[in-house]
């Protein structure tokens, strides 16, 4: 497989539940008994509704769970959508505590062991700043994997997916059925691909400035 032969794919990997500050500070009246929501996160998600909360949506880590604060008037469909949005934002916020090359290599070893039976063993894994048309690339002959710096700050499950994608290329060149079977074990492949496709699509839109506050 020639150097830098990975596809210009959009998408990928697993959010870790490290404690983090809330995206917006919760007020005392928001801390009311809520229900458990089976959202698309690795840790438990608790949704708390408040009649005093009108439009803002907040999320923060509380121990081994994620708390999402929403207005009481929200529909179930809106709740599901905002849970997904806020989980992604928390994950992106946490991933800004950036992995260096050494940590990235350690992450690759962990992912290989978890999803590829440890068979993918890269010689080097590093960030690069010269990949603006692809998210990652690998050179199987050298055992090298490179991830675009544009992934930095994205949710960790996205970074993990890209990393796992390139690890799979060390075992199977190209994108045939055998390659995609290697990624079937990773539970967030479709979500990560969708995230990256959204990033690509958003890059084609005019820039819209905002206040940074999340509104329902």
Structure tokens that stand for 185 in this block = 């074990």
Is residue 121 a contact partner of residue 100, using CB atoms and an 8 Å limit?
no
- How would residue 14 be classed by pLDDT, with cut points 50, 70 and 90? very low
Give pTM, 2 decimals: 0.55
Distances (CA, A) of 64 to 60, 67, 70, 112: 11, 10, 20, 25
Q: What is the pLDDT of residues 159-197, one digit of tens each?
A: 999 999 999 999 998 899 999 999 999 999 998 999 898
Q: What is the pLDDT of residues 88-113, one digit of tens each?
A: 888 777 655 567 888 889 999 999 99
Rounded Cα gap, residues 144 and 137, in angstroms: 8
Task: Tell me the Cα Rg of the chain.
Answer: 19
Backbone angles phi, psi at 171, to 5 degrees: -100, -35
């Amino acid at each position: 497989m020639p150097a830098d032969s990975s596809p210009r794919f959009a998408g990928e990997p697993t959010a870790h539940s490290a404690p983090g500050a809330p995206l917006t500070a919760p007020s005392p009246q928001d801390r009311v008994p809520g229900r458990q929501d089976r959202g698309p996160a690795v840790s438990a998600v608790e949704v708390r509704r408040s009649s005093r909360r009108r439009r803002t949506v907040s999320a923060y880590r509380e121990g081994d769970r994620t708390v999402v604060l929403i207005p009481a008037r929200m529909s179930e469909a809106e709740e599901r959508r905002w849970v997904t949005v806020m989980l992604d934002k928390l994950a992106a916020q946490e991933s800004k505590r950036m992995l260096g090359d050494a940590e990235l290599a350690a992450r690759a070893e962990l992912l290989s062991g978890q999803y590829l039976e440890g068979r993918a063993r890269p010689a080097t894994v590093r960030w690069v700043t010269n990949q603006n048309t692809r998210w990652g690339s690998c050179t199987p002959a050298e055992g090298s994997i490179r991830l675009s710096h544009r992934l930095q700050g994205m949710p960790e499950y996205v970074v993990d997916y890209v990393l796992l994608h390139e690890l799979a290329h060390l075992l199977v060149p190209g994108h045939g059925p055998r390659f995609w079977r290697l990624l079937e074990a990773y539970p967030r492949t479709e979500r990560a691909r969708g995230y990256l496709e959204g990033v690509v699509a958003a890059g084609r839109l005019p820039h819209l400035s905002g206040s940074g506050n999340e509104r329902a």
